[in-house]
Chain A
Amino acid sequence: MSNSADAPEKASSSRYIIADRPGFRLGTLLGRWESLLALLLVAAFAANAIMLPHFLDLYNLADGTFNFSEKALIALPMALLIICREIDISVSGILALSSVAIGLAHANGVAPELLLPIALATGTACGWLNGIMVTHFRLPSIVVTIGTVSLFRGLASVVLGDKAFTGYPQVMADWGQGYFFGFIPREFIILLAFAGLFAFVLHATTWGRRIYAIGNNPVAARFSGIAVDRYRLVLFMLTGAMAGLAAYLLTGRIGSTRPNIAMGWELEVITMVILGGVSIAGGAGTIGGVMLAVLTLGTVTYGLSLANIPGIYMTIVVGILLLATIALPRLLRGRRTAK
């Protein structure tokens, strides 16, 4: 909101000069959000390694990635959505509904290979509903997804009742809790692959640049010929699909669909994205930052759980981490805006 007013006026103001890419400077590199996050990650890792005797056990460390892989898979498209000035509160509802769809299909004797497509299709359909409400009816996405989260979770609980779906086929357990080479969790590899894909699309293709353009100024983006609404719709569907994928993996990992599956995940996912330096006002942020935030949070969680600290302390740590990371730069720089 206040960004537009304080854009610095360039001294040489010929309209025909395009600024060159700034040269390499160590100072600017260190001042970047991603660098700060990387330092934080290293600090958290080192602190854990020194204080906790079993932290550096490689098998434990690899298993620690299970905690955040599914959430991080949703955080990737969420980052794109937030860069594009939208938000999706309903991801945990989509996840629950997709998981229920898998359970329902499996209970009715659908072949195990078809369960993943079913999860993806359910997620995409949910995302499509969100996207249509936002693009076609011009509603703010936060309002739409607050409505749809109770709709999706409600539908899931209607199907589920007070039961739980269990007895999933082996292939789901293989993908949800299995390892490649008997060592690296498959979920983590999937996450890394998708992170690479998202980073490539966002940072190295025209599509990615257009997402930034939309986030910076949707009206201008539209005037310059970007099909803004189509991008928004696709991003919502993509988020839904990734939530469906996360549902498949999570259901396979815990081996059951319970009514409270993934409760409260939307906020953790959004926290990951914002901690990763994606601006909630849109138009700024990187996939690298998001992945660093994911790994930092994962390291801290893993350390706390090794130190036998109850999970709920984690919410305090995450909250303070989030507040501190956004407030500190502002405090250090001093107040720029006179209010």
Chain B
Amino acid sequence: MKALLKMREVQLALCTVALIILVGTRAPVFVTGSSLANLLTDSTLLIMLALTQMLVIVTRGVDLSVASSLALAGMMSALLASRFPELPLPLVMLAAVAIGLLLGLINGYLIGYLDLAPIVVTLGTMSVYRGLVFVLSGGAWVSSHQMPADFIAFPLARLFGVTHLVWISALTVLAAWYVAKHSRFGRDLYAIGNEPFSARYVGIPIASRLMWTYGLSGAMAGLCGYLWVARYAVAYTEIAYGFEFTVIAACVIGGISIAGGSGSVAGAVLGGLFLAVIGNALPVVKVSPFWQSALTGVVILTAVLINARGGRPIGRQILPLHLNKSNATGSAA
């Protein structure tokens, strides 16, 4: 029981529940079934993106281009659907995923095979992809009346009383759990993140693993791009602007170490959920929207502070303290 309580995921889950109850006592509306269902739907895209971002961060990388890939794939699927309304929806979704996959594989090739720094590569592709959204759309919006009805209706349509968005993200969570915990591919990622040299010595194909990890992140961004555009029924150049930081923040809150090698699916899900709860609770308790960003920042900082405290290595001190103070070597950029 005590060991269970010490787990970061359990602590985070308890925090989330406590937060929901706290908000519920201030504003009972918040804990009604429909409001909680809304909350779940709102958190789906963030959770899905956080899951693949987790895989990337586990390999000691970071994907700053997710929001731009999302925007590009979303814009292209919206344009596709508006130009060819007779195209069946599954094909449009497939196209969005394929576009995202391609964008991700470009990142992955540069990072895996050319051995370039992930933060630099994704910084570059981030601006390129964001610019391409503008080039493709000519800066114009694709609004709801230009898109076919079933294109827009799909994400919020209900199956057994639960929105498609929630179903899709549930499937994604299962898939990510399988990949991270039980597949050769996922275990290799942890090995790469923990100790790249050893991973190479034991024969893990690092380059191709990295390429497909970023490909996965891109494909997820593509899927979310379609879902985002369809859900809000509008596609414009600035879709999801700055969302990459929210996704990374969800991972960080979920206890995924930015230095690589550790992180769990539950952490990513709970991190996303936690941010979504805060985002939905603030308007309910009548906190001005201007405070939202500031409070999110405080929450992120608090979460990493708590995580850092919990992550201290356990062991005996056999050398004098002053020699040992410098074992934290700063950022892993």
Q: Interface of A with B (CB < 8 Å)?
A: 1-2, 5, 82, 84-87, 89, 133-134, 137-144, 146-155, 157-158, 160-161, 218-219, 222-223, 228, 232, 264, 267, 270-271, 274, 280-282, 310, 312-316, 318-320, 322-323, 326-327, 330-331, 335, 337, 339
Contacts and interface: CB of A to CB of B under 8 A. Distances in A.
Interface stretch (B34-42, B96-104, B117-125, B213-221): B117-125
A148 B301 CA distance: 7
Nearest to B112: A339
B245 interface: yes
Given A142-B333, A155-B294, A150 B134 contact: no
A56 B156 CA distance: 57
A150 B135 CA distance: 29
Given A158-B294, A232-B330, A319 B128 contact: yes
Contacts of A232: 330
A213 to B, nearest CB: 13
B304 A143 contact: yes
A252 to B, nearest CB: 25
Contact of B297 (A147, A222, A264): A147
B1 interface: no
Interface in B254-305: 258-259, 288, 290-298, 300-301, 304-305
Contact of B132 (A149, A158, A316): A316
Contacts of B124: 271, 319-320, 322-323, 326
Nearest to A141: B331
A152 B327 CA distance: 30
B131 interface: yes
B88 interface: no
Contact of B115 (A84, A312, A339): A339
Which of B115, B196, B290, B291: most chain A CB closer than 10 A?
A: B290
Contacts of B258: 140, 142-143
B28 interface: no
Contacts of A330: 114-116
A218 B248 CA distance: 26
A339 B117 contact: no
B207 A158 contact: no
Contact of B207 (A147, A218, A222, A339): A339
Contact of B117 (A84, A281, A312): A281
Contact of A139 (B120, B249, B304): B304
Task: Give the 4 A-B CB pairs with smallest separation, nearest first.
Answer: A154-B294, A151-B297, A154-B293, A316-B131
B110 A327 contact: yes
15 contacts: A2-B196, A142-B333, A146-B249, A148-B297, A151-B293, A153-B297, A154-B293, A158-B288, A161-B288, A280-B117, A315-B131, A319-B125, A323-B125, A326-B121, A339-B115
B200 A339 contact: yes
B128 A140 contact: no
A150 B294 contact: yes
A314 B132 CA distance: 11
Which of B110, B116, B295, B304: most chain A CB closer than 10 A?
A: B304
A144 B301 contact: yes
Contact of B120 (A149, A274, A282, A320): A274
B123 A313 contact: no
Contacts of B328: 138
Contacts of A337: 115
Nearest to B207: A339
A241 to B, nearest CB: 21
Contact of B331 (A142, A219, A318): A142
A218 B329 contact: yes
A280 to B, nearest CB: 5
A157 B293 contact: yes
B317 interface: no
Contact of B293 (A150, A267, A315, A327): A150
A152 B296 CA distance: 11
Interface string B59-77: 0101000000000000000
B332 interface: yes
Contacts of A154: 290-297
B5 to A, nearest CB: 23
A218 to B, nearest CB: 5
